[in-house]
């Protein structure tokens, strides 16, 4: 039995073991980082809050808070509501450029159907519908923005396009791009 041969075998085992440790460490670091990045999107919806602003064409001289007239916003897929947020109050103010800006801070109701569904499920939404109780039913929407925070971590930003509204219901369709960062 040649001791030189066995010493060479031991060196090979040590180098192979070191290579496996380095590979395992790098892999663990990389895949842990990937799992942490996708974790917020795999959680169940527990909370959802939003800030909503809609600008409509109007010369009305207004600057008020409606403490008992709120707003709603919902995500839907083919008419089925996935998540609804609402508020009891809203505001309206003349911006000085022939537009009134309606605003509200929305929250998800604890009995909402979206509670407990995976955050990932929202990326199947195709439409967001918005309604302000005090906004005139027939309005010309110039622009708008809905910024939703889900579980305090996941942000979804949706631009509301200009449109003529006849029933007070403002819609943004084809919102798939708002979920492009979902992993």
107: CB partners within 8 A, 6+ apart: 47, 48, 49, 50, 85, 86, 87
pLDDT at 36 over 60: no
Question: What is the mean predicted confidence (pLDDT) over 123-128?
Answer: 92
* CA-closest candidate to residue 135, choices 109, 161, 101: 101
The pLDDT-based confidence of 112 (bands split at 50, 70, 90) is confident
Q: Give whole-number Cα distances, 74 to 23, 27, 96, in Å.
A: 47, 41, 30
Of 64 and 21, the one with more pLDDT: 64
Domain residues of the chain, as ranges?
3-38, 41-179
Q: Which two tokens stand for residue 45?
A: 């919806």
What are the b/e assignments for 117-142, b being 16+ CB within 10 Å? eebbebbebebbbbbbbbbeeebebb
CB 179 within 8 A of CB 123: yes
Could you tell me the pTM of the whole model? 0.77
Assigned CATH for 41-179: 2.60.60
**For 46-77, how does the pLDDT look when each residue is reduced to its tens digit (9 = 90+)?**
999 999 999 999 999 999 999 999 999 999 99
Question: What is the mean predicted confidence (pLDDT) over 18-45?
Answer: 75
57: CB partners within 8 A, 6+ apart: 98, 99, 139, 140, 142
* CA-closest candidate to residue 54, choices 84, 81, 89, 92: 92
């Amino acid at each position: 039995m040649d001791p030189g041969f066995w010493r060479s075998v031991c060196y090979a085992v040590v180098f192979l073991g070191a290579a496996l440790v380095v590979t395992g460490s790098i892999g663990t670091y990389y895949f842990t980082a990937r799992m942490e990045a996708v974790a917020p999107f795999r959680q169940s919806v527990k909370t959802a809050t939003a800030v909503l602003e809609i600008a409509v064409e109007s010369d009305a001289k207004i600057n008020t808070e409606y403490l008992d007239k709120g707003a709603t916003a919902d995500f839907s897929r083919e008419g089925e509501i996935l998540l609804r947020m609402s508020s009891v109050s809203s505001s309206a103010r003349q911006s000085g450029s022939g537009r009134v800006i309606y605003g509200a801070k929305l929250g998800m109701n604890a009995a909402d159907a979206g509670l407990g569904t995976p955050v990932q499920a929202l990326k199947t939404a195709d439409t967001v519908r918005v309604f302000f109780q005090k906004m005139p039913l027939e309005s010309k929407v110039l622009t708008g923005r809905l910024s939703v925070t889900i579980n305090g971590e996941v942000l979804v930003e949706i631009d509301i396009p200009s449109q003529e509204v006849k029933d007070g219901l403002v819609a943004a369709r084809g919102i798939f791009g708002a979920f492009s960062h979902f992993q």
